[in-house]
Amino acid sequence: KNEVEQSPQNLTAQEGEFITINCSYSVGISALHWLQQHPGGGIVSLFMLSSGKKKHGRLIATINIQEKHSSLHITASHPRDSAVYICAVRSNYQLIWGAGTKLIIKP
Amino acid sequence: NAGVMQNPRHLVRRRGQEARLRCSPMKGHSHVYWYRQLPEEGLKFMVYLQKENIIDESGMPKERFSAEFPKEGPSILRIQQVVRGDSAAYFCASSPWKSSYNEQFFGPGTRLTVL
């Protein structure tokens, strides 16, 4: 069993829909990252969480430390949000990566 | 304040050649991490370096791969005698200190293709 599990693996939605991507982990962590990888391969760090909730524009990330679970939400989704969204947890100084969720937003 | 820089962005090598990938961390960052993303797979940790020190190389293949982060200049990931299986995207990240709560900032990656 992977230490970091993401769901769903693939998600296709219509423009404007509310999107939720989930991440569960089984190891002790000091922080959790959400990152975005665009088709060209570049990676952008979206959030780093150790508790609670963070919001940036249309993106919201939450984490429940007791349940070892985090969610990334996208409100009013747009085709430019199409990318792979990756959850990674920090254990010591390594990042343990989820497999990613491929999101496609159709106009 | 420039972000993490990696060069080249794309590198093509023939089997048996050497590949050198460079990573310039953000200004003021003295910790560098290298990750590899194989086609259709997630990123995998390779090595963590501080200036002039390798802290953790548990993710590095035992042969042909080496990394350094000299006192001056960029961090270098070196792959000797490349094989087709080395074709991947290699990402570098940097942080200012080891603190677990510190965010790693990622470079754009180098895409290595071995012919």
Give CA–CA dist B103/A31, Å, rounded.
Answer: 9
Nearest to B101 among A44, A50, A99 (CB): A50
Comparing C-alpha atoms, which of B114, B115, B109 is closest to residue B46? Answer: B109
Helix residue ranges per DSSP H, chain A: none
Distance CA A104, CA A107 (A): 10
B100/A88 CB distance under 8 A = no
**Residue contact A50–B91, C-beta within 8 A:** no
Whether the ω angle into residue B96 lies within 30 degrees of 0, i.e. cis, is: no
Amino acid, single-letter form, for residue A39: P
Per-10-residue mean pLDDT of chain B, 115 residues long, equals: 85 97 92 85 84 89 95 96 94 75 77 95
Give the CA radius of gyration of chain A.
Answer: 13
Phi, psi values for residue B37, rounded to 5°:
-120, 110
Using CA of residue B81, residue B86, residue B90, residue B92, what is the dihedral sign?
negative
Spatial CA neighbour of A89 closest among A1, A13, A6: A6
In chain A, % of residues over pLDDT 90: 64
Q: Which residue has the higher pLDDT, A42 or A100?
A: A100
Contact yes or no for B41 and A95 at CB 8 A: no
pLDDT digits (tens, 9 = 90+) for B38-68: 776 767 889 999 988 998 888 899 899 999 9
Q: What pLDDT does residue A72 have?
A: 98
Q: Is A99 on the interface with B (CB under 8 A)?
A: yes
Question: What pLDDT is recorded for position B38?
Answer: 79
Q: What is the pLDDT of residue B100?
A: 46
Report pLDDT for B45: 84
A contacts of B101 (beta carbons < 8 Å): 30-31, 48, 50
> What pLDDT, on a 0 to 100 scale, did the predictor assign at position A30?
81
Comparing CB atoms, the residue among A92, A93, A97 nearest residue B43 is A97
- How far B18 CA lies from chain A's nearest CA (Å)? 23
Q: So what's the pLDDT on residue B104?
A: 75
Which residue among B33, B42, B103 sits closest to A97, beta carbon to beta carbon? Answer: B42
Under a CB-based contact definition with an 8 Å cutoff, are residues B95 and B105 in contact? yes
Residue-averaged pLDDT of chain A: 90
pLDDT in tens, A35-76: 998 776 677 788 888 899 999 999 999 999 999 999 999 999
The alpha-helical segments, DSSP class H, found in chain B are: none
Residue of B nearest to A99 (CA): B42
